[in-house]
Amino acid sequence: MGNYAGFWLRFAAYLIDFVIMLIANIVVYAVFGLSFLEAAAAPDFNAGDLVNFVVGIAYFAGFEASTMQGTLGKRALGMIVTDFQGNRISFLRALGRYFAKIPSAIILGIGFIMVAFTERKQGLHDMIASTLVLRAQPGEGSVDPSVFD
């Protein structure tokens, strides 16, 4: 089966998403009259941090649960997030996948690196949320059922 999205393609999509979120963060801080660089260096939690946290959840979970089935970075590189049957995931599953990235990151990023070595190119967060990232267009998420045998 060749339609699972591999590590480097997913990494490139994340870089695109990172730039989008960085710009969003700078805008949010500016709206609150804060300097992004000063706020990033300060250990205190402020309203801009809270808004950025919510925007991050809305961006990642919202886009992955939407009819686009992926963030802007994933879509730009031709990927979608699906369940094991190739269907669009719910917002709750996308939210779970978002928070499942915490253990993926905490263990020195090994949860993300797993994408390069697992049969279905799943990271720890994908396994926890029972999701796949496929090279496909929205609505085309076909999965070869033989991989589950």
What is the tally of structural domains in the chain? 1
Which range of residues forms the domain containing residue 65? 7-138
Among residues 97, 101, 133, 99, the alpha carbon closest in space to that of 7 is found at 133
- Quick one: CA dihedral 14, 19, 21, 25, positive or negative? positive
Q: What pLDDT was estimated at residue 144?
A: 52
- Indicate whether 2 belongs to any domain: no
Q: What pLDDT was estimated at residue 11?
A: 97
- Indicate whether 148 belongs to any domain: no
- Indicate whether 143 belongs to any domain: no
> Residue 58 corresponds to which amino acid?
A
Put simply, whether the predicted model's pTM sits higher than 0.75 gets the answer yes
Q: What is the mean pLDDT of each run of 10 residues along the chain (149 residues)?
A: 85 96 87 75 75 90 95 95 93 96 93 95 96 86 51
